[in-house]
């Protein structure tokens, strides 16, 4: 029987003892990827866009055996075709085999990024209640109980939305870029906005953790996402800060759904 192109690719790669997985995260703000050799995170980087000319060099460079895509945007469909031709590929969706159950009313509406965060929580903190807070374009609060049930959570505006809303809905306030270096008491318009938005958001996060504590008692809190570094030092509650948590969740899901 004649081998398919994909079978030939993997026959060549069998001499390599490591399995390589390419994890792609197409978010609203950033297009990112991570490479795992077996279960070890090897490399992460931000891409310029979601087109094939950005993905093909990754295939040539890392020669992944498996790939997984989490996308919350309308990405270039040719990317999926390329990944299917070059790797054992899985697209994260509500049809994905997951290590937890989704008990919300409409499972198909849960964002792929939130599914990945929940998978990472179950993988690294099994049999515990977990609140995973993703700090990206939006802030997502994702609660997974000790029975591995994703109960949902909350969504609120991320930093970029808050800064932009001040510019767009006022006559004179400027657009301010994120910066961790600012005083509590702002001394000009820029530092007033930085203090109000970042410290105000930190207090929102602390407040959300507090109300979850009142209802569920002790649980793990994981802070992750591109904006997480702006908040870790401003929170009073104990947290685990893991900026690669979503990638680790994608890898765990890939292992469950992709078979060589």
Q: Which residues are catalytic?
A: 113
Cβ(200)–Cβ(219) below 8 Å: no
Pick from 58, 20, 65, 24: which is nearest to 42 by CA?
Answer: 20
Residue 145, CA distances (Å) to 191, 220, 225, 244 in order: 39, 10, 21, 21
Query: 14-39 burial by CB neighbour count: b if 16+ within 10 A, else e?
Result: eeeeebbbbbbbbbebebbbbbbbee
């Amino acid at each position: 029987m004649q081998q398919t192109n994909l079978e030939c690719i993997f026959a060549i790669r069998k001499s390599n003892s490591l399995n390589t997985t390419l994890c792609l995260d197409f978010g609203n703000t950033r297009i990112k990827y991570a490479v795992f050799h077996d279960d070890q995170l090897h490399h992460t980087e931000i891409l310029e866009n979601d087109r094939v000319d950005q993905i093909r060099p990754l295939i040539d460079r890392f020669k992944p055996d498996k790939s997984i895509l989490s996308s919350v945007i309308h990405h270039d469909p040719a990317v999926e075709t390329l990944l299917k031709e070059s790797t054992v590929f899985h697209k994260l969706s509500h049809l994905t085999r997951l290590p937890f159950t989704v008990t919300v009313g409409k499972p198909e509406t849960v964002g792929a990024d939130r599914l990945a965060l929940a998978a990472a929580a179950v993988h690294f903190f099994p049999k515990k209640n977990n609140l995973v807070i993703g700090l990206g374009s939006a802030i997502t609060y994702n609660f997974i109980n000790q029975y591995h049930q994703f109960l949902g959570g909350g969504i609120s505006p991320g930093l970029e939305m808050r800064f932009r809303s001040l510019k767009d809905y006022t006559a004179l306030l400027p657009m301010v870029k994120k910066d961790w270096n600012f005083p509590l008491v702002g001394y000009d318009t820029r530092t007033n906005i930085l203090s109000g938005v970042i410290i105000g958001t930190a207090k929102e996060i602390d407040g959300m953790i507090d109300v979850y504590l009142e209802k569920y008692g002790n649980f793990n809190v994981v802070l992750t996402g591109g904006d997480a570094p702006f908040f870790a030092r401003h929170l009073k509650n104990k947290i685990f800060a893991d900026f690669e948590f979503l990638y680790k969740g994608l890898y765990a899901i890939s292992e469950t759904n992709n078979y060589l």
